[in-house]
Amino acid sequence: MRGRDEETGEYFSPSRSAQRRAALDVLELGEQLVALSAAQLARLPLPEDLLPHIREAQRITAHIAHKRQLAFLAKQMRKLDDAVLDAIRDAMRKDGEAARRETALLHRAEALRETLLGETGDAALTDLLATYPQADRQKLRQLVRNAREERAKNKPPRAFRELFRALRDLLAQDAAASGEDADGGFEGKADDHG
């Protein structure tokens, strides 16, 4: 029995129907997690103790055993704070805050790459290295040089893509270290030179 507060008449706990709906929501989230690849799971803010249960559910293919493992995964997930579950849901949503930050980071890396490959690329590279002292100077200079040569000779964009990955990783490390959004930062400086 739920019990009622004598003064207000409100119930002390959620109804069984509300508890069941919450449990089914967590089970559905667990099913979505099991459907993801290892790379997609790595991008989510999952607690480390939850990963073995997800991998086990992915490994099991027998229908009833898989269903039982999903139920066990949901039970483990219900032990987590609501804030953790909300963060996982947000990261999985395409329109969530995490997706917006990731998209902004990719746009910044693209703009920065174009600035580095433009006419004022040398000044932009100097600014970039001053802004991010942890960057590998030699590797970035080599990638910029190789990407320019690829463009001039109409070659496949291998260094062009590698430069993008290096810039994206650099911006992501900096955003993670500073705890800021991926929206701010170097982009305004890059636009001054291009």
pLDDT tens-place string over residues 124-162: 888 888 888 888 888 988 988 898 899 889 888 888 899
Q: What pTM was estimated for this model as a whole?
A: 0.49
Domain stops at, among 57, 74, 92 = 92
23 is a domain residue: yes
Q: What is the DSSP string of the chain?
A: ---B-TTT--BSS--HHHHHHHHHHHHHHHHHHHTS-HHHHHTS---GGGHHHHHHHHH--SHHHHHHHHHHHHHHHHTS-HHHHHHHHHHHSTTSHHHHHHHHHHHHHHHHHHHHHSTTHHHHHHHHHHH-TTS-HHHHHHHHHHHHHHHHHT---HHHHHHHHHHHHHHHHHHHHHT--SSSSTHHHHHHH-
Domain stops at, among 53, 69, 92 = 92
Q: Name the percent of the chain lying above pLDDT 70.
A: 87
Domain extent at residue 33: 16-92
152 is a domain residue: yes
Q: Check whether residue 189 and residue 105 sit in a common domain.
A: yes
Q: Check whether residue 119 and residue 132 sit in a common domain.
A: yes
Q: Check whether residue 101 and residue 185 sit in a common domain.
A: yes
Q: Check whether residue 184 and residue 106 sit in a common domain.
A: yes
